A and B are shown apart, each in its own frame.
Chain A
Amino acid sequence: MNGKHIEMHGVRKNYRFFTLDDLNLELEPGQILGFVGPNGAGKSTTLRLVMGMIAPDAGEIRVLGHAIPAEQAIAKRDVGFVSADMRLLPHATLGWHMQFMKSIYPEWDGGYATTLVKRFNLRPEQNARSLSLGEHVKASLLLALARRPRLLILDEPTTGLDPVARHEVISEFMDVLRDERRSILFSSHNTVDVERISDSITFIDRGRIVESSNKEDFLDRWRRIQVQLPPGAMLPELPNIVGRVTDGQFVTLTTNQYSEGMRALVGPHVRDIQRMTLEEIFVANVMHHREARGQ
């Protein structure tokens, strides 16, 4: 099967104080999709829709080729899901959880699970209740990874982890991707992680997708252009400017469609043209989007 791992088309979900609307999302096999948005943007709701835990009010969702939520039982055999609000049973040990997963999932890879226990520095005999936040996250990830699902859906997988633990976990994600038949969808507000390991990125804000693109395109298209205008000089009309801040003679422009021709267009007053980090792009993008929608 070479189809897409996730497809969402025109999905809507209404709540009393919040609406998720016109949601389109696609994930190809062999890719990592980073799903980025502020708190309350609708990230977790989207992931729950993909997992069939809630049903959409409109639109179509397919996971590994299966319609969701109707065929979720078949799809989920090959999907691993981890979210921060999932809790292990407090009075059971990690080892008990591992045995439990093994008894449900025939694909459970005991050897890999043992390797992960060592790599994540966990103890199978420890009760879930006494795990630190970071250990709890790593234990949950272990239980999902060792099933070797084709699709991993991770809600804020690196939140609450210290830098070393984050590095361990991210290495493990990249290891999964050595197999081009597997894929990962993960939500985060840690843009540094997303920038590093994602192949494509989707920004969401206030229940709407702001932009979806492959990562290299994102980083290539956005630029900050710093201009110094001598008194009397005027900036020519420029296309694709999404932000403009003027401070005396100094003007900072933000563009989302940079091309080499732009430097010549701005003229001789350009002081600097800078690339932007994903975080800067994200903030500029969300601000521009909110302005355009009059919010």
Chain B
Amino acid sequence: MSLITLTGIGKSFKVAKRSAGFREAVKALFVREHTIVEALKDISFTVREGEIVGYIGPNGAGKSTTIKIMSGVLVPDQGACSIMGFTPWKDRVRYVRHIGVVFGQRSQLWWDVPVIDSFELLRDIYAIPPDIYRKNLDMLTEMLNLADILRTPVRQLSLGQRMRCEIAASLLHDPAILFLDEPTIGLDAESKIAVRNFIRTINRERGVTVILTTHDMHDIEALAGRILMIGKGTLLYDGSLSELRSRYGTQKTIKVDYKVSASPINVPGVQCLSWSSGRAVYTFDSDRIDITELINRLSAGGELADVEIGSRPVDDLILQLYKEHRV
């Protein structure tokens, strides 16, 4: 049973042309030229209840546009979208009651007043019954560790604290779907982990479906069972992270630390990424090169102090995908 279904969604924008220089500026006083940008082309996918989906792509690929359409803000030019039986942009007021949205860099909290005041106003906007509000507030305060900061004005909070409050604010009304737009951007390591843990928990315990756009691949690794990749307006990849790994991930890296400096070893079929006295990093295809053999070869250059073998980082995988599809 799909909770979210998009079929053939398309959207184009008119963008004004801006040119530099004095003469152009004066001309622009009288005539404005436009180009048409196709932001989304034939986007179709489904999401089942309880999934966590990572929505990735380079900047300008169409991620925010898709999110805006799914949250009822934007009306697409073509295609259909059904979420929980609603058409988001048609049934806006009735539909948005069931979703929560966190726009990473823009706050939905009132800036100069304590967090709890914002929560209470949201309670009134969403018309949440007092007992449910109480229950949710207590749960969210505990899970996100907000007890100390509820009475602090938002402008005095650190980014990590603010983000935790934003996420709590978006869940007060028990939404079935949570849209997160770059939730961990700019956060310190501790906050990032806290946010990721929370999302996992809320998904597991309360069955909240999560759509997450992010540039941080660690978010993807930690959370997303499924990846949707969009580039230049089209859907390039729809599958799980493990599939992606197995398709492209036989590349591995090996890092060797030498006790004494050695000269770089050249091994056929193995590419040296970096070499300095004491450390060398290589990449190789684990399907074709035997690891034991490789270590033996490398130890010929000197006594090995440490060997580390790593999977190809997700960032690399994604970049490879981008390159393949030329985005």
Q: Do A and B come from one complex?
A: no
> Could you tell me which A residues sit within 8 Å of B by CB distance?
none
> Could you tell me which B residues sit within 8 Å of A by CB distance?
none
